[in-house]
């Protein structure tokens, strides 16, 4: 772990400059950036778990719940994220932050009290019941009080592949960026032309990329039909413009989509977030994320776990602010001559937990169950407690681990989840413990005091949860030697590539291919090894939709030699032909393969792919127990796989994959063979027909030949 982590640090170093360089003093002239050191810590209070959406139960004739329905509105509002007072009670003057979030009728999961309509970032939690489908109507209400579509909170970059509801010419936008004619942000591409200081006119076509806002919600880690998956092209705007794969399970308003989730997978902590093409980084940062927990009433492990007030979601997200409390996000791209606004990474300079910056939580002397999500765009966290106390991870992305994993630190990357048990039983009253992050990447002295700290726990009086003994095997679907999935029938290699600009990497590709490349085809029900070869300097965070997979191994390799051969075979990305794999990875491998750590021996939907390493995952395109999906995964628009560092995902590190039936796989061959047989038969019939009709002539010809032969002396006769 230490070795991998040092690689990670190395990888992140080049990406980290943003997080440390913009911490500048507040300007009196303009709204400046908020110095994170000026924000008092542990004043914000987390008082319990996030509110939970209240479903409308649909029952059968016997009163049995057969579906749970929700209406969720996506809106803009203000939330008090920064603390209002310091530790001595003196007002900080920090205002509310303009955010986007999810809202609906919700209740307090501890008291059961109906809280009415709640809108927040992260949004209220879903608590789904295993095998009871949920139906969610996701409504795009990003409009102002008069119903007019709102603008985006951050600069939309029309030079990358994106939802593009107004059909802005991407090539033309790229040409303008190359000529230095992109407008600065603000105003960005806001529908008006802009006169640059040199007198030239930016945005001469008066494109509006900022409004209306296309959104689409994806249930991350969910095993769901592709039509309900919330893929990048399934977006819709508040004024009813729809992306190419827009779908609604039941008819609804044009600014909404209804998705159905079967909830048939193992109980676990999933999350939902926006996934609109080329906008995900901006929308998740604006606040569009929340947890979706699947609970199984027959779960024997859950019966032994702390619940209600002792079961706390911990959504960790890094954020930066302006002095007026508004969110800061870069307004200038890493390589503005290529893309005016897109950066290759963004790291915030504070940590927000459950929508509050640097909060404290009072805990009782007992055990707590924390469902941790790294909901940051790009930030990795190496979490530990300031008193060094151990804790136990029992769940990962897709369910319980094979066995409880005792830890003193936990490395978690964007989109990953970790369910951990922490025991405060033996701590004296008043003890304060910091949940700290040692995955620091820039100015260590500064970051120790900022993003190196996540939240505080204060041990208070009261009866806590007495820890219970857990079974040594938590997850029967993971019994046997690791990986427990059957051997693959196919191995696919994906080389992670970057192109470079003058200030760092720009578009990144999976296997050198762009988002528009033909989808990868996989046969439903089969098992494949997907091998991610990472010759770049950056860690990547690979995520597959639809499936939960297992990490097989990681292995170092000679990146220079490998890329030399890969480039000889393929040329420079982006490729305009199918990627050619190197004949063998073996010559490039360095040292032994490294098996996943015990806390990675569980179901995963997102995997840390370190620089200079080849990471192999095993994927079965079926439910976790090997049975078929309870829906036809071969229909609909298909799925995607991508890097979950959101700035990478948006700048082309995403591809499509579709599932096909085993018979579909042979259809081209069957058609070809059938066509050949029909052609041969037609020729034979034609020949027979001609033979019958032209028979006399043919005999004539034969006799002519015979006569000719008779006139020609044979060599023997001549002699």
Binding site for Cu ion (CB under 5 A): 540, 643, 645, 648
Looking at beta carbons only, is 402 or 543 nearer to Cu ion? Answer: 543
Looking at beta carbons only, is 319 or 648 nearer to Cu ion? Answer: 648
**Shortest distance, CB of residue 648 to Cu ion, whole angstroms?**
3
**Shortest distance, CB of residue 564 to Cu ion, whole angstroms?**
22
d(CA 545, CA 604): 11
357: enclosing H helix or E strand: strand 356-357
Looking at beta carbons only, is 187 or 501 nearer to Cu ion? Answer: 501
Place of tokens 């528009």: 516
**Shortest distance, CB of residue 335 to Cu ion, whole angstroms?**
16
Looking at beta carbons only, is 311 or 344 nearer to Cu ion? Answer: 344
**Shortest distance, CB of residue 286 to Cu ion, whole angstroms?**
21
In a 13 Å sphere around the CA of 471, the CA atoms on its Cβ side amount to 12
d(CA 218, CA 124): 15
Residues in Cβ contact with 480 at an 8 Å cutoff, skipping those fewer than 6 apart: none
Pairing of strands 45-46, 360-365: parallel
**Shortest distance, CB of residue 272 to Cu ion, whole angstroms?**
21
Looking at beta carbons only, is 284 or 659 nearer to Cu ion? Answer: 284
Burial class (CB in 10 A: 0-12, 13-18, 19+), 17: middle
Looking at beta carbons only, is 220 or 648 nearer to Cu ion? Answer: 648
The pair of three-digit structure tokens given for residue 290, joined into one six-digit string? 């929340």
**Shortest distance, CB of residue 329 to Cu ion, whole angstroms?**
18
Per the CB < 8 A criterion, the answer to whether 472 and 403 are in contact is yes
DSSP assignment string, 296-351: -TT-TTGGGS--GGGEEEEEEEEEEEBTTSPEE---S-SSTTT-SS--S----SEE
- Distances in Å between the Cα of 48 and the Cα atoms of 54, 117, 312, 483 are 17, 18, 7, 37
**Shortest distance, CB of residue 209 to Cu ion, whole angstroms?**
24
d(CA 220, CA 235): 16
Question: Phi, psi (5° rounding) for residue 87?
Answer: -65, -20
425: enclosing H helix or E strand: none
Number of helices and strands in the chain (H, E): 10, 38
693: enclosing H helix or E strand: helix 662-693
Pairing of strands 45-46, 97-107: unpaired
**Shortest distance, CB of residue 644 to Cu ion, whole angstroms?**
8
Looking at beta carbons only, is 551 or 645 nearer to Cu ion? Answer: 645
**Shortest distance, CB of residue 630 to Cu ion, whole angstroms?**
32
Looking at beta carbons only, is 52 or 614 nearer to Cu ion? Answer: 614
Peptide bond into 17 cis (omega under 30): no
Looking at beta carbons only, is 200 or 500 nearer to Cu ion? Answer: 500
Looking at beta carbons only, is 176 or 606 nearer to Cu ion? Answer: 606
**Shortest distance, CB of residue 37 to Cu ion, whole angstroms?**
30
Looking at beta carbons only, is 420 or 496 nearer to Cu ion? Answer: 496
Per the CB < 8 A criterion, the answer to whether 458 and 363 are in contact is yes
**Shortest distance, CB of residue 315 to Cu ion, whole angstroms?**
21
Query: What angle, rounded to 10 degrees, do the helices at 662-693 and 695-711 form?
Result: 70
d(CA 95, CA 572): 49
């Amino acid at each position: 772990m230490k070795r991998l982590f040092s690689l990670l640090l190395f990888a992140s170093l080049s990406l980290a400059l943003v997080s440390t360089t913009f911490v500048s003093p507040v300007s009196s002239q303009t709204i400046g950036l908020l110095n994170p050191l000026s924000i008092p810590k542990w004043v914000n209070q987390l008082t319990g778990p996030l509110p939970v959406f209240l479903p409308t139960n649909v029952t059968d004739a016997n009163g049995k719940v057969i579906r749970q329905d929700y209406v969720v509105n996506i809106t803009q509002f203000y939330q008090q994220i920064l603390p209002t007072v310091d530790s001595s009670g003196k007002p900080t003057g920090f205002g509310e932050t303009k955010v986007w979030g999810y809202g609906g009728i919700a209740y307090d999961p501890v008291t059961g009290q109906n809280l009415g309509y709640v809108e927040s970032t992260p949004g209220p939690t879903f608590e789904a019941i295993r095998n009871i489908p949920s139906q969610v109507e996701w409504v795009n209400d990003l409009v102002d009080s008069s119903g007019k579509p709102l603008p985006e909170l951050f600069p939309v970059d029309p030079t990358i592949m994106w939802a593009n509801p107004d059909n802005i010419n991407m090539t033309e936008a790229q040409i303008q960026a190359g000529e230095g004619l992109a407008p600065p942000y603000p105003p960005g591409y806001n529908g008006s032309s802009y006169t640059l200081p040199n007198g030239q006119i930016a945005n001469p076509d008066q494109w509006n990329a900022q409004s209306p806002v296309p959104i689409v919600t994806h249930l991350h880690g969910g095993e769901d039909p592709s039509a309900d998956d919330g893929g990048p092209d399934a977006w819709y705007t508040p004024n009813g413009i729809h992306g190419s794969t827009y779908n609604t399970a039941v008819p609804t308003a044009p600014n909404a989509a209804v998705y159905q989730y079967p909830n048939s997978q193992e109980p676990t902590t999933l999350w939902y977030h926006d996934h609109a093409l080329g906008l995900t980084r901006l929308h998740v940062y604006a606040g569009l994320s929340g947890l979706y927990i699947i609970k199984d009433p027959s779960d024997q492990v859950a019966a032994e776990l702390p619940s209600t007030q002792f079961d706390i979601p911990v959504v960790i997200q890094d954020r930066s602010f302006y002095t007026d409390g508004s969110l800061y996000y870069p307004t200038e791209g890493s390589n503005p001559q290529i893309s005016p606004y897109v950066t290759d990474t963004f790291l915030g300079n504070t940590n927000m937990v459950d929508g509050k910056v640097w909060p404290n939580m009072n805990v009782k002397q007992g055990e707590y169950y924390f469902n941790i999500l790294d909901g940051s765009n790009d930030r990795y966290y190496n979490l530990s407690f300031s008193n060094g106390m151990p804790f136990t991870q029992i769940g990962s992305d897709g369910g319980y681990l094979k066995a409880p994993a005792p830890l003193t630190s936990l490395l978690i990357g964007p989109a990953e989840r970790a369910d951990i048990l922490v025991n405060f039983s033996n701590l004296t009253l008043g003890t304060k413990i910091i949940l700290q992050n040692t995955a620091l990447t820039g100015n260590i002295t500064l970051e120790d005091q900022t993003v190196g700290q996540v939240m505080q726990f204060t041990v208070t009086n009261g009866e806590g949860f007495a820890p219970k003994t857990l079974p040594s095997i938590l997850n029967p679907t993971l019994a046997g030697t690791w990986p427990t999935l059957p051997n693959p029938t196919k191995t696919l290699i994906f080389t992670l590539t970057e192109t470079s600009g003058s200030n760092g990497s720009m578009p990144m590709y999976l296997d050198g291919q762009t988002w528009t490349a033909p989808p990868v085809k996989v046969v439903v029900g089969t098992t494949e090894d997907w091998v991610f070869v990472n010759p770049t300097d950056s860690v990547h965070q690979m995520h597959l939709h639809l499936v939960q997979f297992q990490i097989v191994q990681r292995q170092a390799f000679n990146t220079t030699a490998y890329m030399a051969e890969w480039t000889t075979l393929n040329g420079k990305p982006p490729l305009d032909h199918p990627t050619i794999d190197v004949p063998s990875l073996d010559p490039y491998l360095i040292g032994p393969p490294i098996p996943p750590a015990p806390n990675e021996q569980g179901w995963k939907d997102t995997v840390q792919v370190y620089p200079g390493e080849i990471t192999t995952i095993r994927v079965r395109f079926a439910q976790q127990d090997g049975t078929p999906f309870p829906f036809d995964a071969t229909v609909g628009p298909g799925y995607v796989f991508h890097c979950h560092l959101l700035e990478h995902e948006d700048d082309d590190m995403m591809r499509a994959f579709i599932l096909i039936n085993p018979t579909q796989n042979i259809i081209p061959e069957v058609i070809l063979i059938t066509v050949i047989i029909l052609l041969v038969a037609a020729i034979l019939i034609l020949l027979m027909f001609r033979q019958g009709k032209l028979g006399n002539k043919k005999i004539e010809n034969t006799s002519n030949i015979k006569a000719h032969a008779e006139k020609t002396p044979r060599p023997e006769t001549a002699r």
